[in-house]
Homo-oligomer: A and B are copies of this chain.
Amino acid sequence: MTQERWHQLTYWPLIITSVIFIVVYSWQVIADLQGPAYAVARIIIGVTWVVFAVDYVVRFALAEPRWKWFRGHLFDLAVVAIPALRPLRLLRALTVVQALQRTAGSAIRSRVAIYGAGAAAILIWIAALAVLEAERGAPGANIENFGDAVWWAFVTITTVGYGDFYPVTTWGRIVAVLLMCGGIAVVGVVTATVSSWVIERAAATAGDDNEPATRGQMRELAQQLAAVSAKLGDPPAR
């Protein structure tokens, strides 16, 4: 079985597993489940974890060469191995970003904008869940309900940072650092998209005649010239 085949087979099951994970995890954290309900939620989350772990192992086994694949998928390993990062697993859905590599022309800008907004929304949601789970009940913590957690996530990802809410636990701070990095990336993507548009418009001048000459035009000209040369035959002997 090739990696490509495995990807095709597991694409939809993994998306569905991701959605189940996020729904159950949101429910567990927001409702602050206790007792049997908590146990049920943890079991479902555990099963989704096993699914992702198996997927990671199989992809590693199929990879060729394995060392290169391992280096290129450290993020996947971190998500599978470290409990606090579990919610980030949903970002996997964004690996479709690689589809961007194949897009070109001005359509790239709207795609970049859409993916950027989508990634920011998922990041805010899961960061709010993860920070709430880490902070709730910790001594000295000030993020105590989901509304405040979402507000904190917005204030952090935009790098505003009022300081009315901030994490105090180690896990909460790790989540915050990842969210800040996401914030810088979002600012970068917004700026890049606007820049690209401004630069293109500023470079655009009246009419096609002032655009740089193209390679296609060049090839046509070369053929035309070759035809002229053929008409002449060999240099005339005088």
Closest 6 CB pairs of A and B: A209-B216, A160-B161, A163-B163, A212-B212, A192-B195, A162-B163
**Is the CB of A104 closer than 8 A to any CB of chain B?**
yes
Instruction: Sort chain A's interface into a size bin.
Output: 35 or more
- A:209-238 near B, CB below 8 Å: 209-222, 224-236, 238
A163 to B226, CA, bound (A): 73
Name A103's closest neighbour in chain B (CB-CB). Answer: B201
Known: A198-B193, A199-B196, A212-B214. A187 touches B186 (CB 8 A): no
A221 to chain B, nearest CB (A): 6
* Residues of the B chain whose Cβ atoms lie less than 8 Å from the Cβ of A183: 158, 160
**Is the CB of A204 closer than 8 A to any CB of chain B?**
yes
The reply to whether A230 and B225 contact each other, CB–CB distance below 8 Å, is no
A190 to B188, CA, bound (A): 6
**Is the CB of A164 closer than 8 A to any CB of chain B?**
yes
* Residues of the B chain whose Cβ atoms lie less than 8 Å from the Cβ of A176: 154-155
The reply to whether B205 and A105 contact each other, CB–CB distance below 8 Å, is yes
**Is the CB of A108 closer than 8 A to any CB of chain B?**
yes
Partner of A198, one of B112, B159, B206: B112
Most buried by B among A100, A103, A151: A151
* Residues of the B chain whose Cβ atoms lie less than 8 Å from the Cβ of A78: none
The reply to whether A106 and B164 contact each other, CB–CB distance below 8 Å, is no
A206 to B120, CA, bound (A): 30
A219 to B208, CA, bound (A): 11
Interface string of A96-123 (1 = CB under 8 A from B): 0000100111101100100000000000
